Amino acid sequence: MDYGEVLSKTWRITWKNKGLWILGILAGCSASGRGSGGQFLGGFRGFEFDSSNFDGFEFEGVPIEIENFFRGITAEAIFFAIFALICVFLFLALVFLVLGVIGQAGLIAGFSRADEGADVSLGEAFSLGLQSFWKLLGIRFTVWIIGLIIGIVLVVGLIVLGIATFGLGLLCLLPLICLIVPLAFAVDSYITLSMVAAVDEDLSVFDAFGRAWQVFKENLGSMIVMALILVLGGGLASIIVAAPFFAVFVPFIIGLVNGTEQGILTGLVASGLLFFIALPVVILLSGILNTFVTGAWTLTFRRLTDKSGAESALAES
């Protein structure tokens, strides 16, 4: 496979079809956190709370209205506030997941069309992404279930091994930790390839897994090279893209070093302004990066399955 051709054409399509950047921004929404609200609430139920919990707290310099407000908080109010926050979090996570799946499906479909020489609008790519929404959601759900099962089995196995060998068996597993990073790269590449297969060849969820595995194992060398380029290169690019956020905290840190109340306040205000300036820039650059990486995987799959994009070459000439 000609890696230079794939990467250069990916960039040409990315730059020419700027509407795809919006889908790249959406695709970045699906990075969701993992946690168990049930466990937190379970621990909260055993917490006895009443207004006397604030009796030992000194409200120095605080208006009496604010002090009375905090002293009047009940356990029920805190419980419902936490419950409401969890519901909002779950709702936002669901919205971000939906937007992320649509964005990624639209990018794959858009790059497939562009590779064939067509001009792809945002509306067309978005519509194509909607058509593949359930398939990509099914792939993610399947991966999540399998990952959860493997995680539970590993944790239980490690606990049993640790108890049976008094912890010595765990030491023998330390060299295997070195395999986690390359294994994670391989699994991530395979999952991405499965999504591309589902959209590009209009396959069902399990057919897409099978097709991706076939392409993966028959082109292992090419997959390793492209994974190194995109994963390591994309990781470095992500650090560069996030650099403006590091600069945001500089004024505040300078204010802390200064030590005066005025310096800290000035630094905090300056950092706040820089944050709102840097946020849209970082979002846009992240969208472009997501567009390029997804597009590169799409063209990689097409080249490895003998879709040369000859029509696109004729159109561009």
Q: Which two tokens stand for residue 268?
A: 């905090």
The pLDDT score that the predictor gives to residue 309 is: 63
Query: Which sign does the torsion angle of CA 273, 95, 290, 185 carry?
Result: positive
pLDDT at 39: 35
Q: Which helix (H) or strand (E) holds 131?
A: helix 122-131
Chain Cα centroid distance, residue 128: 22
Distance between CA 74 and CA 76 in Å, rounded? 5
pLDDT at site 61: 52
Per-position pLDDT tens, the chain of length 317: 788 999 999 999 999 999 899 999 998 887 533 333 333 333 433 444 444 444 545 555 555 655 556 666 677 777 888 888 999 999 988 888 899 999 999 999 999 999 988 888 888 999 988 999 999 999 999 999 998 998 898 888 777 777 776 666 666 666 677 777 788 888 888 999 999 999 999 999 999 999 999 999 999 888 889 988 988 888 888 888 888 778 888 888 888 877 777 777 888 888 888 888 888 888 999 999 999 999 999 999 999 988 766 544 444 44
pLDDT at residue number 171: 66
pLDDT score, position 161? 72
Burial 200-220 (b: 16+ CB within 10 A, else e): beebebeebbebbeebbeebe
- Are the beta carbons of 278 and 91 closer than 8 angstroms? no
CA distance 227 to 296: 10
What is the model's pTM? 0.76
What does each C-alpha distance from 175 to 160, 165, 167, 179, 183 come to in angstroms?
Answer: 19, 17, 15, 8, 14
Calculate the CA dihedral of residues 52, 53, 58, 60 and round it to 10 degrees: -90
Structure tokens at 56: 């030992």
